Amino acid sequence: MPMKNKVKEFVDARGMSVYRFIKDTGIAPNTGYSLYRNSHHMPSPGVLAAICDAYKVQPSEILEWVANQQQAS
């Protein structure tokens, strides 16, 4: 998959809990924990907008493009 989410890094860098992240953004708990635990879980556009709105950040702070091994060769 060419994209990954950086929610774990984002949350950990701010020294907050996943619970606080969920409360700040208003996203569903299952979604918040899935994003935190699985970097290949992609947020929906609405969830991405909620995160960006809550923390006043660009989507690039939450998502990262990752080169495919085959493309990198």
pLDDT, tens digit, for every residue of 2-42?
Answer: 899 999 999 999 999 999 999 999 999 999 999 999 999 99
**What's the pTM?**
0.88
pLDDT for residue 69: 67
What DSSP letter does each residue of 32-65 carry, written as one string?
HHHHHH-TTPPPPHHHHHHHHHHHT--GGGTEEE
Mean pLDDT of 31-60: 98
pLDDT for residue 72: 46
pLDDT for residue 7: 98
Q: By the 8 A CB rule, do 18 and 35 touch?
A: no
Mean pLDDT of 40-56: 98
